[in-house]
Structure 1
Amino acid sequence: MVSDNLILKGKLRSLDSSRDLGVIADLIELCFMGTMDEDGRDYIGYLRKMAQESKNMTWGLGALQNSFSPMQGFVYELNGSIIGNLSMLPFQKGDEFVYLIANVAVHPAYRRHGIARDLTARAIQHARSKNAVSTWLQVRDDNPAAQQLYLSMGFSECCRRSTWTLRPDSRKIIEWNKRFNSSGRSFQDWKKQKEWLSNLYPENVRWNIGLKENKLEPGILKSIRRFLNGQWVRHWSLKKNDRLVGVASLERTHLYADNLWLAAEPGMEPGVLEEVIPQIQKDMFFLRPMTVNFPDKVAEESFQLMGFDKNHTLIWMEERLMRPVSIEV
Structure 2
Amino acid sequence: MTVLSTPTSRIRAIRLREDLKQIADLIELCFLDNIDPEGQEYIRHIRQTANNFSGLILENTTPENSTLPFHGYVWVENDKIIGNITLIPLRSKEKGGYFVANVAVHPNFRGRGIGKQLTERAIRHVREHQGKHVYLQVREDNEIAIQIYRNLGFDEISRRTMWVYRPSSRLVENIPSAIKVAGREKEDWSQQRVWLDAMYPRELHWNLPIRLDKMEPTFSNWLTRLMFAEFQRSWSVRKDSKLIGAVTLDHGSETHDYCWLATSPIWEDEVIRNVFPVIARKVLFPKRLAVNYPAGRARASFEAAGMRELNTLLWMKHKISLLNESIIV
TM range (shorter): 0.7 to 0.9
State whether structure 2 residue 234 is matched by structure 1 residue 228: no
Aligned to 2:305: 306
Matches of residues 316-327 of structure 1 in structure 2 within 5 Å? 316-322=315-321
Q: Which moved more, 1:91-100 or 1:231-240?
A: 91-100
Give the CA deviation at 1:229: 2.8
SS of alignment partner, residue 137 of structure 2: strand
Matches of residues 93-242 of structure 1 in structure 2 within 5 Å? 96-167=95-166, 170=168, 172-178=170-176, 179-242=178-241
Q: Tell me: CA distance 1:286–1:119, structure 2 relative to 1, closer, same or farther (3 Å).
A: closer
Gap runs ≥5 in structure 2: 1-7, 59-64, 323-329
Deviations 1:136-160 (A, max 9, x none): 1111110110011011111111110
Q: Tell me: CA distance 1:41–1:260, structure 2 relative to 1, closer, same or farther (3 Å).
A: same
CA distance in 2, matches of 1:124, 1:153: 9
Task: Tell me if the contact between 1:176 and 1:278 (Cα under 8 Å) persists in the aligned partners.
Answer: no
State whether structure 2 residue 6 is matched by structure 1 residue 25: no
Give the CA deviation at 1:10: 6.4
Task: Tell me if the contact between 1:10 and 1:79 (Cα under 8 Å) persists in the aligned partners.
Answer: no
SS of alignment partner, residue 207 of structure 2: coil
Amino acid at match of 1:73: G
Amino acid at match of 1:98: G
CA distance in 1, matches of 2:82, 2:205: 33
Give the CA deviation at 1:68: 6.3
SS of alignment partner, residue 230 of structure 2: coil
Q: Which has the higher contact order (CA 8 A, sep 6+)?
A: 2
Q: Which moved more, 1:170-179 or 1:261-270?
A: 170-179
Give the CA deviation at 1:175: 5.0
Aligned to 1:60: 57
Amino acid at match of 2:50: A
Q: Tell me: CA distance 1:39–1:285, structure 2 relative to 1, closer, same or farther (3 Å).
A: closer
Q: Tell me: CA distance 1:172–1:131, structure 2 relative to 1, closer, same or farther (3 Å).
A: farther
Give the CA deviation at 1:245: 0.5
Aligned to 1:252: 251
Task: Tell me if the contact between 1:165 and 1:308 (Cα under 8 Å) persists in the aligned partners.
Answer: yes
Task: Tell me if the contact between 1:90 and 1:99 (Cα under 8 Å) persists in the aligned partners.
Answer: yes
Q: Which moved more, 1:126-135 or 1:68-77?
A: 68-77
Task: Tell me if the contact between 1:10 and 1:77 (Cα under 8 Å) persists in the aligned partners.
Answer: no
Deviations 1:271-308 (A, max 9, x none): 10111011112333554511111000111111111221
SS of alignment partner, residue 18 of structure 2: coil
Give the CA deviation at 1:310: 0.8
Task: Tell me if the contact between 2:173 and 2:274 (Cα under 8 Å) persists in the aligned partners.
Answer: no
CA distance in 1, matches of 2:84, 2:99: 14
Amino acid at match of 2:235: W
**TM-score normalised by structure 2 residue count:** 0.88
Task: Tell me if the contact between 2:14 and 2:71 (Cα under 8 Å) persists in the aligned partners.
Answer: yes
CA distance in 2, matches of 1:239, 1:49: 47
Q: What fraction of aligned residue pairs are identical, expressed as a percent?
A: 36
Q: Tell me: CA distance 1:285–1:210, structure 2 relative to 1, closer, same or farther (3 Å).
A: closer
Task: Tell me if the contact between 2:74 and 2:84 (Cα under 8 Å) persists in the aligned partners.
Answer: yes
Task: Tell me if the contact between 1:183 and 1:236 (Cα under 8 Å) persists in the aligned partners.
Answer: yes
CA distance in 1, matches of 2:14, 2:186: 48
Q: Which moved more, 1:248-257 or 1:34-43?
A: 248-257
**TM-score normalised by structure 1 residue count:** 0.88
CA distance in 2, matches of 1:43, 1:285: 25
Q: Which moved more, 1:171-180 or 1:310-319?
A: 171-180
